[in-house]
Amino acid sequence: MTIDAHHHLWDLKKRNYAWMSSDLKPIYRNFLVEDLVKTVAPYKITGTVVVQAHQSVEETLWLLELAEKSNLILGVVGWVDLKDPQLGKTLAELKKHKKFKGVRHIIQDEPDVNWMLQTEVMRGLRTLHEAGLTYDLLVKPHQLDAALRLIDHLPTMPIILDHIAKPYIKEGKREPWATQMRQLAKSTHVYCKISGLITEADHAKWKPDDFGFYLKHVVEIFGWERVCWGSDWPVCLLAGDYGQVLHLPETILKPGATEKQWAQFMGLNAQGFYRLS
């Protein structure tokens, strides 16, 4: 089993993505299910989890519609307004779709470093937890202190950290990211995706050695039981292709893993976290 636990789809004719400009030429076009199928076909991918890229319930419904027609897409991580007093009703409607597994907000772009600690956001996250859903935590290193406080307030909620919190790989900077991540990993309800990394390195001349410390550190602190692989396709195309993203952890991590540990990382953990069927 190989599950890509993190990729996106978008249709630029349907909605405008605020974070995406025409300067991002490799990805400034539509990426739909047929593109996904064609991309993963050579790599024996068993299933995928598609993650929101637009902060609207409209996109979430669109992704669920695509997922329902696809045997490849096993789960959808959508978006909802966590501050909405009627959030419970919205989640109840979305949960009618069996492939709706969780929620994400693009916290990394919020100017307020403590955005996630607002009373209304915390209330929304508790509502999410009560509904039996997961949360994808998308932050950058400067937001990790707030993330640690958030996790302390949600001691049993299934949370998965996207893109290992986007460390400054291009600069080779390790601290305080490494120490903060070690603290975060102490919370056993938090998982971590090894995903979205080549875009944090030098797009033109990255090499596998650039990532060794970061990947090994994450596996050491979370253990093989709480890490999973994701491609971050098609965003990854800014710095490499799907095969390169798949083979990067194989180069760095697989030599030190047992067969069971590798199976956990490449699919079983994602299956368990998101309750994929």
**pLDDT for 89-139, tens place per residue?**
999 999 999 999 999 999 999 999 999 999 999 999 999 999 999 999 999
Distance of CA 163 to the CA centre of its chain: 6
With tokens 């290992």, the residue in question is: 164
The packing angle between helices 212-222 and 242-252, to 10°, is 70
CA distance 193 to 196: 9
Mean pLDDT of 202-229: 97
Q: Which fold has domain 3-274?
A: TIM Barrel (3.20.20)
Q: Sign of torsion, CA 131 10 54 56?
A: negative
CA distance 116 to 125: 9
**pLDDT for 42-76, tens place per residue?**
999 999 999 999 999 999 999 999 999 999 999 99
Task: Tokens for 132, please give them.
Answer: 């039996």
Task: Tokens for 251, please give them.
Answer: 């180069």
pTM: 0.97
**pLDDT for 17-35, tens place per residue?**
989 988 999 999 999 999 9
CA distance 159 to 147: 11
Residue 277 pLDDT > 90, yes or no?
A: no
